[in-house]
Each structure stands twice: as structure tokens, then as C-alpha cells.
Amino acid sequence: QGERRKHCRQGGEAARGGQERMNTPLQEIISAHQDTFNALLKELEGDLHRSVVCKGELRDVWLVRFCIGFDWKVPAVAEKFRNMLSFRERYKVDDIRKRYEEGMQPSDIPGYKVHHDAYMCTFLLHTGQARDRSPVNLEQTCKFKFADLAAIPEDIADQYIIHNLEYHSFVLDKAYLESKCLKGYVKMMDLQGAHMSQVSWVSKWASNSKHRKVRLEVDIMECYPELFSKVFVIHSPMFFSVVWKIIKPFIPARTCDKVKVESSSSKSKVLCCDSVDPSLLPKEFGGDYTGQWMMK
């Protein structure tokens, strides 16, 4: 518990200064915005029965994530929160949450095999956590089999991303219940070996994101605000600005603000190892770990 308080205190001053950060005790954030938070509770009074994420200890952390994600503006926060609740009802996401609570693993996710035959990533680094005890998410983006991913049927891809995001949220909720601090993933994207021919696949991804929003009748990323505390893009190619221009409109603004980009190998290593102990971090990300880390 002493370690837990230490890691929480590192973010505590941020809440009082009006700049909410991950690892801040949740009650400090709420206290710094008490009137706004109370107004939101009143506005959503008739909706807080609609999902398990509105009940018990999860209620406040979900509300705070939405408040931070949508700038503490009560009308906007309430609208986005209700959209999230409708999404959860429409796609029975509470049932997915229940299956995770009962022990369902990511490998049981619909579409898992077809996606991870093409991915080079891990939802949750199995060797350990970041130095601040945040969960870690890694991917070697340029080694994806983009043609295989693009060929996945839309219904399978939709179910996969719903289960995927709910799993990430489930992990963060467990971290909150253990620490009582706001938690977010440390995400690292390795672009080693990127080449211009892959930019067309980025455009395809952007098009798929637009179509998914229409199919699901919601911007799914808006249903899961503040998933990430840090996002590192390492071994960035010279043409990354072209890629960033394509993908930025599909990424929440606050997440964009958390992105740090490094091109050199030495600076990429420092960036990653400052957040995760090298003994836990795969060598592709500047660490010393040489075992299996990708999800299969």
C-alpha cells in the first residue's frame, strides 16, 4: 500500500493544478471539480442504471474519464456518456464484460486468430508493468500483414474491436480498483522498417474507420476515452508527418496530445526505457528481454 500511495502521489498535484494526469488519485480529481461533477451526476441521474460501468466503484472512474476526455463540459460529457450507454446496450457489451470477469481471455475474442495471424502486438505486456504500474501495450506496426487485415469481413472486425476495447477498459478498471488512481495504458508503436508503400494501407484504415462509425452508429473511440497515459512512436520514418496527417482525425484530441515521436534508435530506447524497466521490455523496443512477447 505504501508503494501504491507513492505512485498515486506522483500525479496528485496535477488534479489540484487543473491538469488531470494518470496515476492521480481519483478523489483528488473529483474534489478539484466537485461542482461540475455534481452537476453531471444530476444530469445523468436517470441513466446511471443502464450499465454495470455506472454502478458501484466503477461509476466515478468512468464519469471522470468522460469528463477529462470531453473537457468537463457537462452537456457534451452527458451526451457522449449516453451515446456510450446506448452502444453498450445495442451490442450487449455488459455481457462481454461479464465474460471477462468470469475468466475469458483475449484469445477467446471473436476474430482473434485471424487478426493475430496478421498482427505483431500484445494487448498487455506479460513481463510486467510500466515503472508507474500502468499496463503496457506494444505493437510493431510496420510488420503487420495489412492485406490480410483488410480482407477480414466487417462483422468479424467489428466484434473484434468491440471486444478489444472492452478488454483494455476492463484491465484499466481492475488497475483503478487496486490503486484508486486514474490509470491509462503506456502504448509503444515501433515503426522500424516503415516504407512509403505502406501509406496506402493507412489510408485504407482511415476509410474503414469512417465506415465502421456508420455501421456501429457511434464513434467507438468516444465510448472509451482516456485509455492511454502515454503513446510513444519510435523509429519514426522521415515521412511520418504524411501518415500522421491521415490518422490524426480519427484519434481523440487528448490522445494526440500524449503522442511523443522519436526517429533515432538511441532516443527511442531512452524514451521507452524511461517508462518501462529494460529487463521487462523486448529488445525491439530498446530493452533487454529476448523472450516471446507477441500475442499468438
**Residue 227 Cα to chain centre, angstroms:** 3
Which residue reads 472512474 in cell numbers? 61
Residue 236's closest CA among 204, 258, 273, 265?
265
d(CA 22, CA 12): 9
Q: What is the pLDDT along the chain (296 residues), one digit of tens a residue?
A: 544 444 554 444 444 434 457 899 999 999 999 999 999 999 999 999 999 999 999 999 999 999 999 999 999 999 999 999 999 999 999 999 999 999 999 999 999 999 999 999 999 999 999 999 999 999 999 999 999 999 999 999 999 999 999 999 999 999 999 999 999 999 999 999 988 888 888 888 888 889 999 999 999 999 999 999 999 999 999 888 888 888 888 888 888 889 999 999 999 999 999 999 999 999 999 999 999 998 86
What pLDDT score was predicted for residue 60?
98
- For residue 196, the model assigns a pLDDT of 85
At residue 296, the pLDDT reads 63
DSSP-assigned letters across all residues of 219-278: -GGGGS---EEEEEEES--TTHHHHHHHHGGGS-HHHHHTEEE--SHHHHHHHHHHHS-T
Predicted local distance difference test score (pLDDT) of residue 19: 47
The dihedral sign for the CA sequence 140, 142, 143, 145: positive
Query: What pLDDT does residue 10 have?
Result: 46
Instruction: Quote the CA–CA distance of 6 and 280 in Å, as a whole number.
Output: 21
User: What is each CA distance from 1 to 136, 180, 230, in whole angstroms?
Assistant: 21, 11, 24
- C-beta of residue 64 within 8 angstroms of C-beta of residue 56: no
Distance CA 118, CA 7 (A): 36
CB 142 within 8 Å of CB 194: yes
The confidence score (pLDDT) of residue 8 equals 57
Helix (H) or strand (E) holding 137: strand 136-140
Q: Which of 157, 163, 166 is nearest to 224 (CA)?
A: 166
In this prediction, residue 255 carries a pLDDT of 86
User: What's the confidence (pLDDT) of residue 124?
Assistant: 93
Question: Quick one: which of 76, 202, 86, 99 has its CA closest to 144?
Answer: 202
The pLDDT value recorded for residue 206 is: 85
Residue positions counted in the chain: 296
Burial class (CB in 10 A: 0-12, 13-18, 19+), 266: exposed
pLDDT at residue 20, as a whole number: 58
Give residue 235's pLDDT. 95
Q: Half-sphere exposure (CA, 13 Å, Cβ side) for 64?
A: 28
Asked if residue 255 lies in contact with residue 231, where contact means CB atoms within 8 angstroms, the answer is yes
Residues 6+ apart with CB under 8 A from 10: 23, 132
